[in-house]
Amino acid sequence: MNKLIIANWKMHYGPVKAGAWIRAFRRERLPKEVDIGVAVPHVSLAAARASLGRAGVPFLGAQDVFWKEEGSYTGEVSPGMLKEFSSTFCLVGHSERRRHLGETDDMVAKKAAALQEAGISPVICVGETSAERKAGKAKSAVKKQVTAALKKGAVAGGKAPMIIAYEPIWAVGSGKACPPDEAKAMHDVIRGVLAKKFSKKAADETRVLYGGSIDRQTVMSYMTTTGVDGVLVGGASLDPREFGLLCRTAVPA
């Protein structure tokens, strides 16, 4: 299985700038050994999809979803709507949504299950706070989040395999990444939860990504760490040329 690099634009780039980013990114030479995804704001899905083109293009994804397919949920977007843009994945439970929008473990679990139902891979984001880490509770905090995210029917494997992104909150946007060996140790903890709930095989086959202050200088050390199946990149994905360079740097020469 190829390793995976996902760009998370967060709340950047409406349709005009999104189209320009994708067109610029299409000019980048991309390594065949990695899969590349771009998570864009809902309003930019159409423009991004229209600009994707064919060879060497990234997978398209969203950054959030609601768990119902249709109904009186003003302002929300359903998995089926994301599917109309051929979205193949969607982030759920990003720490910024948990913090600023009150997203709970229960909501994350419902979103993950609804996405799989629609054939879209949920990218379930988990990670401890700095206080939890300092108190020696990082592993238990992450275990709890992963366990909770699996409570509403999301499964490892299947036609829209779940992806877990370990993103320690203190590392997101801080310029202070979690060292690869420590990220790997947490990935092992995450796989342990998956193995217990599903099977060792399903756990081994589930991609677990690291995210938090990844840049072109550090990306290769994560991509070459066993048990780290790729990275989620925020700030360093905003410039298409820089992100192209990051994707090339991710693969050993």
Annotated catalytic residue, options 76, 94, 132, 182: 94
The yes-or-no answer on residue 94 being catalytic is yes
The yes-or-no answer on residue 167 being catalytic is yes
**Closer residue to ligand PGA (CB): 25 or 78:** 25
Question: Which parts of this chain interact with ligand PGA (CB under 6 A)?
Answer: 8, 167, 172-173, 211-214, 232-236
Spatial contact of 63 and 31, defined as CB atoms under 8 Å apart? no
Q: How far is the CB of 87 from ligand PGA (least distance, A)?
A: 17
Q: Specify the residue for token string 């398209």.
A: 60
- Cα torsion angle, 74, 159, 26, 216, sign: positive
Q: How far is the CB of 113 from ligand PGA (least distance, A)?
A: 22
With CB atoms as reference, the residue minimizing the distance to ligand PGA is 234
Show the tokens assigned to 93.
């439970």
**Closer residue to ligand PGA (CB): 79 or 168:** 168
Annotated catalytic residue, options 103, 128, 132, 167: 167
Q: How far is the CB of 234 from ligand PGA (least distance, A)?
A: 2
**Closer residue to ligand PGA (CB): 91 or 193:** 91
**Closer residue to ligand PGA (CB): 190 or 202:** 190
Q: How far is the CB of 55 from ligand PGA (least distance, A)?
A: 27
**Closer residue to ligand PGA (CB): 172 or 223:** 172
Sequential DSSP letters for the chain: --EEEEEE--S---HHHHHHHHHHHHTS---TTEEEEEEE-GGGHHHHHHH--STTPPEEEES---SSSSSS-TT---HHHHHTTT--EEEES-HHHHHHS---HHHHHHHHHHHHHTT-EEEEEE---HHHHHTT-HHHHHHHHHHHHTTTS--SSSSS--EEEE--GGGTTTS-PPPHHHHHHHHHHHHHHHHHHS-HHHHHHSEEEEESS--TTTHHHHHTSTT--EEEESGGGSSHHHHHHHHHHTS--
Q: How far is the CB of 220 from ligand PGA (least distance, A)?
A: 15
What residues act catalytically? 94, 167
